[in-house]
Chains A and B, each alone.
Chain A
Amino acid sequence: MTFLPIVERELRVGARRASTYWWRCVAAGAALLVWLLLVWINQRLSTPQLSRLLFTAFSVLAFGVCLLAGVFLTADCLSEEKREGTMGLLFLTDLKGYDVVLGKLFATSLRAVFGLLAIVPILALPLLMGGVTVGEFWRVVLVLLASVLLSLSLGMAVSATQTDSRQAMGGTLLGLLLLSGGLPALWWMHALFSRGPHLDALLLPSPPYLLQCAFDWAYRLRSGGHAFWVSLQMVLASGVLLLAFAAVLLPRRWQAQQEGNQVLDLSALPPGSKRLAELAKKNSRDAARARALQQNPFLWLVCRTPLLGGPANALLVLLILFWVIFFQASLWLHRFNYAFIVCLFLSYALHQFFKYAVALDATRRFSEDRRSGALELLLVSPVPEEDLIAGQERGLRRRFGPLLRLVMGLNLALSGAVLFSSNLGMNETDQAIFLELFLGGALIAWVDFRALGIVGIATSLKYPRHHRAVLATLSRVLLPPWGAVFALVFVLQSVSMSPEGFATVFASWFVLGLVTDILVSQRARATVNLGLRNLLNPEPEKFPTPTEAPVRALQPNRA
């Protein structure tokens, strides 16, 4: 008997695939490019300073990529099989839950791990330049491996519980946000309200905390080494436990899904208030559907499913709750100076989650309908293509309007705090910079939202697999501003910045975001204007002359 047969098969398939090897070259090449860019910009620094800057920048960049791997690689891999009904076929064989989970893990993440291994030598270059110790280097490599395992495992675990791609990917991102930001926020909150010893255990499973502990400046503290190794064990154990959870849950959850595919039969309910209530609910739903279908059938289709799943909603509410608590603390508590900064980062995280959720929703309908063939059915009906596009855009506005107002509201609230809170103790220059940051962020949230909507439509018509469409949408709209944040934090560290300098950097960031949004929106709009049918079908080409005649030609009879 073969141990882990799917894993073996996937490794063989991966070994035969040319892209597995090319991917390593691409990853190493991209890393080298960023490396050279950083070196070129920071020429004024001494070699040890430059070495440290490069090592930190690369560690953080690689860490970010590792942490997001699960969202794009594993979050939809099991849910996709469940949606397409192929999961049951696997469980008809002797395969166990762990066979499927590990097989899928290897199938989806082989290239990611290879890519990570390809950039390790570039991460090691600062060792030759000085300023970075061997121990520090290896600790960071361990952190990256542990983080990618945790992220991929979390994706698998969420995917095992979900069927809908949006809920799977959104749930994974929220889970990562909770681990990376929520647990540290809880730690801060405890520190805020309690005068006792800090609850450091809350930080241990958090990957960013682990990364922080890996650097020499933290590792050499009195309890730094102990904290690093315990945290590493916690992150690894969390990853393994999440995988085990997925393996145990998957066979059961798949069966539960099949049983759950039943609609409530009203006639089976006993006569009484429950039956009346269900009947009223059904009638109200039917009436709402009739009204929506009257306007635009596709709009109804876009809006008919809930935005996020229950657990994802709960996590979102939790993050907002954290924000509210820290916001209050920043306004009223003198002894907690960092509350405002925590609030700022929580706002940033909520903005990013909002944009990610928009990208998920903007790409889902066309992507799924294209895969299932339902889009073809719509395109042979008299519904104009413009109605389909308009329905998708209006649906997105209707579904995300409240969330957009919320994230913009967070920024406005922070702006109000900057202007009117004496507790923050800001001078006029600081106030101006923060106001620029928050108001610009609110504006960018709105513009990004519009851009993600139309770019999402264009990419979903190009990529039938949902997670690829999401990735393509996010990279087109958000990669330049994210790159700008990276540059802001690392590239310009060597420059001593005046307040005006910060204002200019923020302004450049927003302008870059705006220009990107306008350009990619226009391009996506032009693509969509080519017509959905044209996008879904290959371009017509010149007729070649057929060379072969059929075996035996019959006399055509056109009676």
Chain B
Amino acid sequence: MYGNIAALYGLDLIVNKGDLFGFIGSNGAGKTTTLRILATFLAPSAGQAEVLGHDVVQDADAVRHVIGYMPDFFGVYKDMEVTEYLDFFGACYKIPTAQREKTVNDVLELVGLSEKKGALIGALSRGMQQRLGLARVLIHDPQLLLLDEPASGLDPRARIEMMAILQELQRLGKTIIISSHILSELQTLCNRVAIIEKGKLIYSGPVQGVRDQMSSGRVVWVRVASDQAKAVELLKTRPEISEVATTDGEIKITLASHDSDHSVIADVLVHGGARLLELREDEIGLEEVFMRVTRGDTQ
């Protein structure tokens, strides 16, 4: 609760081990509050949250050992050197002195900052500071990473590199919850997503699942070099196809079911003598889904 406003209400969410879980919502939807509760920084007014079997309020200390939280700001000491910073947080996580140097070197290598070991943090670029934040999160080898807007403000290259690092971390067995506004990237990166608005959960599940629910039917666009009318007639004979229409020299084909295999379209056209130039499926993106299911209200 923030004053009279419920930042979260009835949020019921399960994240499976090994998931790269996208957390989507407008500004003020409650994403950061959720992550802060999971990170044990904020106590919920009501309800319960567990991380790897530990209650975030009753067993907060155990939770802190298994999570790595990266907020949407850097939280760095600009007058510190990179290694000093990581050494300090390593000590906070009780990593023995003898191991710390190696751990620091390892995480710096993982995030691609080995070259900047001795640099002052204040002199690092935004992208590098973001990577340093990720290195800090990884210093104690947590099982769950809570990343709040980790790619915000980064240039395209830094963003792509950040996403590659996250994929590598998932491959290493980490569970990652990531909140982001860059939905196109979450779409390719995450295996599951949750959409939240005004503190309420709208959807939680696989990325494909939300697309399927939002689209009325799968749409395939076809361009042929030969007689378009003949191609339309060929397509209309197939039971897998529910609707065929032509627009701007292209044929719009709506498949009868989400499970239909669109290779049937190519088979029909090629065997019917049509010269197929292009075939593409019109896929609904996460951005489109987000725009359709949310009102854009904030609290």
- Chain A residues within 8 Å of B, Cβ to Cβ: 83, 261-263, 265-266, 289-290, 293-294, 297, 300-301, 305, 372-374, 376-383, 533-534, 537-538, 540-544, 546, 548, 550-559
Contacts and interface: CB of A to CB of B under 8 A. Distances in A.
A279 to B, nearest CB: 12
A261 B78 CA distance: 9
Given A551-B294, A556-B203, A558-B14, A543 B213 contact: no
A266 B119 CA distance: 12
Interface stretch (B62-70, B235-243, B275-283): B62-70
Interface stretch (B3-11, B219-227, B264-272): B3-11
A538 B97 contact: no
Contact of B41 (A263, A383, A533, A548): A533
B45 A543 contact: yes
B75 A546 contact: no
Nearest to A297: B91
B205 interface: yes
13 contacts: A261-B122, A263-B123, A305-B79, A376-B41, A383-B92, A533-B42, A543-B1, A543-B46, A546-B200, A550-B293, A551-B293, A554-B195, A558-B205
Given A263-B123, A380-B67, A533-B43, 16 more contacts: A262-B120, A263-B118, A263-B120, A289-B84, A289-B87, A374-B76, A376-B75, A379-B41, A381-B92, A540-B46, A542-B1, A554-B195, A556-B203, A556-B204, A557-B205, A559-B192
B132 to A, nearest CB: 12
Interface string B113-141: 00000111011000000000000100000
Nearest to B139: A381
Nearest to B136: A377
B93 A381 contact: yes
A376 B89 CA distance: 13
A557 B203 contact: yes
Contact of A541 (B1, B64, B74, B84): B1
Given A374-B77, A382-B92, A548-B198, A558 B204 contact: yes
* Residues of A contacting B: mostly: loop
A265 B295 contact: no
A382 B61 contact: yes
Interface string B9-37: 10010100000000000000000000000
Nearest to B39: A380
A372 B75 contact: yes
Nearest to A543: B6
B206 interface: yes
Contacts of A555: 203, 213
A559 B205 contact: yes
Interface of B: 1-4, 6, 9, 12, 14, 39-46, 61, 64-65, 67, 69, 71, 73-79, 81, 84, 87-89, 91-94, 97, 100, 118-120, 122-123, 136, 192, 195, 197-206, 209-210, 213-214, 292-295, 297
B84 to A, nearest CB: 7
Contacts of A297: 88, 91-92
Given A541-B4, A552-B292, A559-B206, A380 B84 contact: no
A330 to B, nearest CB: 43
A253 to B, nearest CB: 16
Contacts of A383: 92
B293 A544 contact: no
A25 B202 CA distance: 52
Contacts of B84: 289
Contacts of A262: 120, 123
Contacts of A550: 197-198, 200, 202, 293-295
Contacts of B294: 550-551
A305 B80 CA distance: 10
A271 to B, nearest CB: 18
A550 B295 CA distance: 7
B56 to A, nearest CB: 11
A221 B238 CA distance: 116
B88 A301 contact: yes
Given A263-B119, A550-B197, A374 B87 contact: no
Nearest to B75: A373
Given A380-B64, A537-B42, A543-B1, A294 B206 contact: no
B35 to A, nearest CB: 10
A293 to B, nearest CB: 4
Contacts of A537: 41-43
Nearest to A551: B295
Given A376-B41, A377-B89, A538-B2, A261 B120 contact: yes
A300 B88 CA distance: 9
Contacts of A305: 79
B203 A554 contact: yes
A555 B40 CA distance: 29
Among A262, A379, A557, max chain B CB count under 10 A is at A557
Contact of B69 (A266, A380, A544, A559): A380
B9 A557 contact: no
Nearest to A557: B205
Contacts of B43: 533-534, 537, 540
A552 B213 CA distance: 11
Given A293-B87, A541-B45, A382 B94 contact: yes
Contacts of B4: 541, 544
B205 A541 contact: no
A263 B6 contact: no
A453 B150 CA distance: 37
Nearest to A375: B75
A266 B69 CA distance: 34
A294 B64 contact: no
Contacts of A265: 118
Nearest to A84: B78
A382 B87 CA distance: 15
Contact of A544 (B6, B81, B100, B118): B6
The 5 closest A-B pairs by CB, nearest first: A557-B205, A540-B45, A373-B75, A293-B91, A554-B203
Contact of B93 (A83, A263, A382): A382
A377 B71 contact: yes
Contacts of B14: 558
Given A263-B120, A373-B74, A543-B46, A554 B213 contact: yes
B169 to A, nearest CB: 18
Nearest to B14: A558
Contacts of A290: 87, 97, 100
A305 B84 CA distance: 13
Nearest to B68: A380
Nearest to A546: B9
Nearest to B88: A297
Nearest to A285: B84
Given A374-B75, A550-B197, A538 B3 contact: yes
B200 A377 contact: no
B209 A557 contact: yes
B285 to A, nearest CB: 16
A533 B57 CA distance: 12
Contacts of B79: 305
Nearest to A541: B1
Contacts of B214: 554
Nearest to A378: B92
A546 B198 contact: yes
Contacts of A301: 77, 88
Contacts of A543: 1, 6, 9, 45-46
A527 to B, nearest CB: 18
A213 to B, nearest CB: 45
B199 A546 contact: yes
Contact of A556 (B64, B120, B198, B205): B205
A300 B100 CA distance: 16
